[in-house]
Chain A
Amino acid sequence: NAGVTQTPKFQVLKTGQSMTLQCAQDMNHEYMSWYRQDPGMGLRLIHYSVGAGITDQGEVPNGYNVSRSTTEDFPLRLLSAAPSQTSVYFCASSRSWTGAQLTEAFFGQGTRLTVV
């Protein structure tokens, strides 16, 4: 069972470069999200999607774009990388958001990004 697959696992970018972090899930989950994790700050929500074709902003969306053309894939694009975007990025998927309760979130193994 693959679950949530993130690529790449490690990436070094120069300031101003752009790149796409890939995220794919094979569980037919409706809800997908992207978080960044920085020391002492927990996970902060960047963008999320409640289904194919629907995306919305989270807590820290600036500098990032997302799209959800299929149920399986939810790529995160960095438009012009900045040192402040150095972080560990996690993609997560959940079966659904039922009422006000999110079912279990399954996380990928993360992408460690360094912007120099």
Chain B
Amino acid sequence: TQLLEQSPQFLSIQEGENLTVYCNSSSVFSSLQWYRQEPGEGPVLLVTVVTGGEVKKLKRLTFQFGDARKDSSLHITAAQPGDTGLYLCAGGSNDYKLSFGAGTTVTVRA
């Protein structure tokens, strides 16, 4: 099992502030995905990154894949209450298994 560690576990910020969530592993992943999950729902894909050093932007969200493809970060600029949720990173490899991190619970206070 390839372990993905996310930090921090919990994050509570005021509306308008910025935040960064980290996803780290000692293993190399061929691809990394970020999902967001709301209470009572299944996770929903935000982005997939596949190239070391890749940066993708989705409106106020910026995703980065580390050069060595062992780590990733999610940065949210000017967070809004609608960004509240559980953010999960998931790594893919050659064995047809998707490994998830434990998640970061983000709360944005109005």
Contact = CB atoms under 8 A, between A and B. Distances in A.
A104 B6 CA distance: 21
Contact of B101 (A42, A107, A109): A42
B87 to A, nearest CB: 11
Contacts of B99: 45, 59
B109 interface: no
A31 B98 CA distance: 11
Interface of B: 1, 4, 6, 9, 30-31, 33, 35, 40-45, 48, 50, 88, 90, 92-94, 96-103
A75 B50 CA distance: 31
Contacts, number: 71
6 contacts: A33-B98, A40-B9, A42-B101, A104-B45, A105-B90, A107-B43
Given A44-B100, A59-B1, A100 B94 contact: yes
A94 to B, nearest CB: 8
Majority secondary structure, B binding face: loop
Interface residues of A, number: 29
Contact of B98 (A4, A45, A99): A45
Contacts of A35: 100
Contacts of A106: 42
Given A100-B31, A100-B92, A107 B42 contact: yes
Given A101-B92, A109-B42, 6 more contacts: A43-B88, A101-B30, A102-B33, A104-B48, A105-B33, A105-B43
